[in-house]
Amino acid sequence: MKLSTLLKKHTNLWGERILKGKTEIKRSEFLKDLKEKVVNLRSCKFLFQAFLEAYPEMKLSWKDDWDKWTKSILNFFAELGKHYKYQLHVNRKYGILDLNNEPCEEYLVDLCRCFVDEKAAWIELALESELSDAQYVESIIDDFAKLTNIKAYTKIGIFAPKLRDRQKVLDELVAMVAHHEIRIPTEKYLVILILYHGKMEDESQRIEIAGYEINHLGDLNYLGSKRFPEG
C-alpha cells in the first residue's frame, strides 16, 4: 500500500474513540484495567510485562495449532494499540478491526501500529511472528530480517524455537542488528521466545515465555521470563 493511500484512508482517525459493542473480539481484562492509564508504548519492558499479564487470558494450549496462537497474540497487541487510539495494519484473515471498526489490511509486516494525520504517517510498532511446528532457526532469521529493514520505534519478534536453539537464535538476531549498515538510535527490538520444556517438567512449568531487548547497537538485555502450564 502506498503512503498516499495510507494517508487518504486513515486521515483524522487519530483521537477517535472505539465504538463499544462493534468489535468482534472481546477485550481482555488486562486492557480494561488500563483504563486511561498513561504508559510508554515504546518500552520493551512494558510491552513484555503486558504480554505476560495478558497471556493466561488467551487460554492457549501447547496442543493448539499455531494459527490460534498467532491470532491470539496479534489480537492482544492490536487491542493494546487501539486502546491508545493507534491505527492498525494486520492481515484481514485474523478478523481484527481498525479504529473505524472495519477489517484491517496488512502492511509490510504481520502487524504494525501507526501514527497517521493529514500530512504524515509513520510506524510506531512493527511485529513479526514466526510460530510453526518446524521451529527452524532459519525461518526465524528470515522473519526477523523484515524487522531490521523497516523503520519503527519499536520492533517485536515473537518466535518459538526449540529449547536447545534458544542461545543460537539470540546470537543470530543480535548479530543481525549489530552488523546492519542502517541503524537508527531511537529504534529497539523486543524478542519474545515461547519455549516448551517438555514432559520432564511439571505440567504447570512446561511453557516458558522469555523476553529480551536489543538496542540499535546490538546490545542484548534480558527482561525476564515466566513459566506457564502446558494447557
147-163 pLDDT, tens digit per residue, is 999 999 999 999 999 99
**Greater confidence, 10 or 193?**
193
- Summarize the confidence of residues 51-80 as an average pLDDT: 94
- Of the pLDDT bands very low, low, confident and very high (cuts 50, 70, 90), residue 15 is very low
**Greater confidence, 206 or 7?**
206
Contacts of 153 (CB under 8 A, 6+ apart): 42, 123, 124, 125, 186, 187, 188
What is the phi/psi pair of residue 188, to 5°?
-150, 160
Contact 128, 144 (CB under 8 A): yes
What are the sequence ranges of the domains in the chain?
3-17+40-228
Q: Is 108 left (phi over 0), alpha (psi -120 to 50) or beta?
A: left
108-150 pLDDT, tens digit per residue, is 999 999 988 888 888 999 999 999 888 899 999 999 999 999 9
Please tell me the predicted confidence (pLDDT) of residue 137. Answer: 94
Percent of all residues in the chain with a pLDDT value above 70, rounded to a whole number: 86
If you search the block for the grid coordinates 543470530, which residue do you land on? 172
Please tell me the predicted confidence (pLDDT) of residue 19. Answer: 34
- Of the pLDDT bands very low, low, confident and very high (cuts 50, 70, 90), residue 28 is low
- What CA dihedral angle connects 228, 47, 221 and 147, to 10 degrees? 110
**Does the pLDDT at position 215 exceed 80?**
yes
Please tell me the predicted confidence (pLDDT) of residue 186. Answer: 94
What is the phi/psi pair of residue 220, to 5°?
-100, 135
**Closest CA relative to residue 151, chosen from 96, 219, 216, 80:** 216
